Amino acid sequence: MTGRVGAAPPTLTLVPAPRRGKPPRHLADLAPEERAEAVVAAGEPAYRARQLGTHYFGHLTADPAEMTDLPLRLRDSLAAALLPPLLTPVRTVTADAGTTVKTLWALHDGVRIESVLMRYPDRATLCVSSQAGCGMACPFCATGQLGLTRNLSAAEIVDQVRVAARALRDGEVAGGPGRLSNVVFMGMGEPLANYRAVLDAVRRLVAPVPDGFGMSARGVTVSTVGLVPAIDRLAAEGLPVTLALSLHAPDDELRRELVPITTRWSVDEALDAAHRYAATTGRRVSIEYALIRDVNDHAWRARLLAEKLAERGRGWVHVNPIPLNPTPGSRWTASDPAVAARFVAELRGAGIPTTVRDTRGSEIDGACGQLAAEER
């Protein structure tokens, strides 16, 4: 095969995400000063906002019954006003002896999203969704085939993190009590197409308690298919999070078919933006590359990728080849292991740091969007 997937590349038009019903206002949507204003507007002193923040971000609770430092008369009213329920579990599946937990959530309007918690010996990582569905239309991705339903609010993103952190803390995940160390925006959706909510969510993750969870920015990864202006905008925010560029092909001809957004920005433009991000933030960029059998796993493509990365310098980038987690009924499938090994060897031989991504959850519909698709 030549690596071509189809005929003419699709045309992708970026349009505002549909609004199926605005989520209720939540503490995690608000900056600290806005929380104080909301509490004062309810007739209470501003310091109550810090108390609520300590419970939500520090104690990982939204249950007013656990907020015993608040007067009994205030607990329910303040929680109803600023801590409304956002996520309702619909289905939970586990794998890897209980250390991988995938949850399908229902939002306030019935929309479904997913998150995946993965526990390793030295860390625990949560993969969060930033949109319900996705408008990028990548043909090998389960979420891309769902289409875009709507953007998530910052609080709908943040609450995925709170619930996972609490489950780890309370020993509800195999391995005993633990701590959430990493959050990756690699679930449903294109994070940079929901820029403001994702940025607000990242700020809540890294701000110290009671303003946020106090996570290290270095433990947060934001992925993108290559929305060049948004990459540059993120670089200027002063948040040293890791950028992951979902490239999947080093040549424009194939990438236009695998990642239709390429009709707007070329491979070189996406790589240039990623290089600028690394130069501005000092953070090494990850290149995500799903290895698809007989489509993008050719040795010559590995060499071309290595050439494009090396010509922009050394030390700024790392490549993560990902064995494709196929969706049921799809013609897309993972590369033969020997072919994948040669692809990796070509990159390493050219001096490109390369680590094959650990894949989890294939037996539990681990690819993002699969559980949501089943519910349709």
- Domains in the chain: boundaries: 27-82, 88-374
Residues with a known catalytic role? 114, 368
SS3 334: strand
Partners of 334 in beta bridges: 292
* Residue that is written with structure tokens 């008369």 in the block: 73
**Per-residue pLDDT, 82:** 97
Mean pLDDT of 43-69: 97
Mean pLDDT of 64-83: 94
Residue 318 predicted with pLDDT over 60: yes
Query: Is 27-82 a CATH 3.40.50.1580 domain?
Result: no
pTM to 2 decimal places: 0.91
Query: By the 8 A CB rule, do 187 and 157 touch?
Result: no
Query: By the 8 A CB rule, do 361 and 116 touch?
Result: yes
* Reported confidence tier of residue 145, pLDDT bands at 50, 70, 90: confident
DSSP 22-68: PPPP-GGGS-HHHHHHHHHHTTS-THHHHHHHIIIIIS----GGG-T
* Reported confidence tier of residue 6, pLDDT bands at 50, 70, 90: very low
**Per-residue pLDDT, 360:** 67
Distances (CA, A) of 152 to 118, 179, 186, 351: 22, 25, 14, 39
**Per-residue pLDDT, 133:** 94
Supply the CATH classification number for the domain 88-374: 3.20.20.70
The CB-side HSE value for 319 (13 A sphere, CA atoms) comes to 31
**Per-residue pLDDT, 15:** 44
Amino acid at 92: T
Average pLDDT in the chain: 91
* Reported confidence tier of residue 14, pLDDT bands at 50, 70, 90: very low
- E strand spans, the chain: 88-95, 100-106, 112-119, 124-127, 131-133, 148-151, 182-185, 220-224, 242-246, 285-291, 317-323
* Reported confidence tier of residue 370, pLDDT bands at 50, 70, 90: low
